Amino acid sequence: MARTGRPRAFDKDQALEQALLLFWSRGYGATSVQDLVDALALDRGSLYGAFGDKRNFYLAAVQLYWDTYERQLVAALESGPVLPALREVLATPARTQEHTSDAGGPQGCMIGNTTAELVPQDAEARDIVARSHARFTRIVADALRRAQADGEVTQTATPEAQAQLLLFTVQGLSLVSRAGLDTTAALAAVDALIDALRA
Query: Footprint of a copy of itself on this chain (CB under 8 A)?
Result: 25-27, 29-30, 107-108, 112-113, 115-117, 119-121, 126, 129-130, 133, 156-158, 160-162, 164-165, 167-173, 175-176, 178-180, 185-186, 188-193, 195-197
Q: Choose among DNA, a copy of itself, none what residue 35 binds, the Cβ cut-off being 5 to 8 Å by kind.
A: DNA
Contact indicator for 42, 10 with CB cutoff of 8 Å = yes
Q: Choose among DNA, a copy of itself, none what residue 80 binds, the Cβ cut-off being 5 to 8 Å by kind.
A: none
Contact indicator for 147, 83 with CB cutoff of 8 Å = yes
Sequence-ordered list of residues with C-beta below 8 angstroms from that of 98, at least 6 positions apart, any chain? 181, 183
Binding mask 25-64 for DNA (x = CB under 7 A): ------xxxxx------xxxxx-xxx--xxx---------
Q: Choose among DNA, a copy of itself, none what residue 195 binds, the Cβ cut-off being 5 to 8 Å by kind.
A: a copy of itself
